[in-house]
Chain A
Amino acid sequence: MFIGKINVTLKESVLDPQGQAVMKALHDMGEGSVKDVRIGKYIEVKLLANSQSDAEEQINRFCKNLLVNQVIETYSYHVEKLEV
């Protein structure tokens, strides 16, 4: 068993309305050091795979076909083997 830990974020070129609202709230709290906030999604997928590279290939496929909308989002992932 493997686990894929996936981070999905909006592309740099896309304005992030949630991030902007949170940044404004931080500024309103007096946190003037904040220069930008980007909000994304974290997804964990447990899966069966023959090897690390097989697991990575599958995760990549899940991302491209469903988990990520590549028009506005980008992603990165990290795959670990689970001891069962």
Chain B
Amino acid sequence: MKSAVIVFPGSNCDKDIAYVLKTFYHHKVDMVWHKTQLSQKYDLVVLPGGFSYGDYLRCGAIARFSPAMKSVLEHAKRGGRILGICNGFQILTESGLLPGTLFKNTNLKHICKNIQLVKGSQNNPLTSKLQPKQVLTIPISHGEGNYYADPDTVKQLKEENRILYRYYKENPNGSVEDIAGITSSDFKIAGLMPHPERAMENWTGTDGKLFFDNFFEF
């Protein structure tokens, strides 16, 4: 597979995800600076975590207007896959590629710790190999991860099997319905706040592999 990782000013998880895609999944990975366009067709485009444009105005609001995002939108129109992690998820909602938005955690703090996740919708194909109550331990690191969408949108997400993961036992940030990640209706665009790319090695915990194994099963 060929993947592109978009690098915004303030991205800080771009190298981590590139390392994971290359080392564990043998992707060819190109790093694409935000001022340029995708120069070829990719199977997967990743919007990495970080603080693009200093999180000014709102998280992800300004990154959406960067030149690279134009070609990311074209990639989406062609039916290409997109994965947004943390700040990448925020950019996906700001761009309108995923519904809802992410705003301040209810406790107003940046939370950096391991949390537990379970699969969201039982029939989402990005979690098809997970058992219903199988728990993944994955770190989060965000101040604005409180997912909000109006009740009609949440109902639609549920009906269309688009809830990717839910926080288990403890909801760290106040997200509606404990939502940690969602997908588009065709499941090709996925966004989540937790960082599976930070849970790939013995010293960090390896549940990130469960995330990616399931993600690439689709």
Contact = CB atoms under 8 A, between A and B. Distances in A.
Interface string A49-81: 000000000000000001101011000000000
| Interface residues of A, dominant DSSP | loop
Interface in B41-75: 57-58, 61, 65
A72 B107 contact: no
Give chain B's interface residue range (CB within 8 Å of chain A). Answer: 20 to 34
Given A66-B57, A72-B148, A21 B108 contact: yes
Nearest to B64: A66
B215 interface: no
Nearest to A65: B65
A3 B167 CA distance: 45
B128 to A, nearest CB: 29
Interface string A35-50: 0000000000000000
B108 A72 contact: no
Interface of A: 13-15, 17-18, 21, 66-67, 69, 71-72
Interface of B: 57-58, 61, 65, 93-94, 99-101, 103-108, 146, 148-150, 174
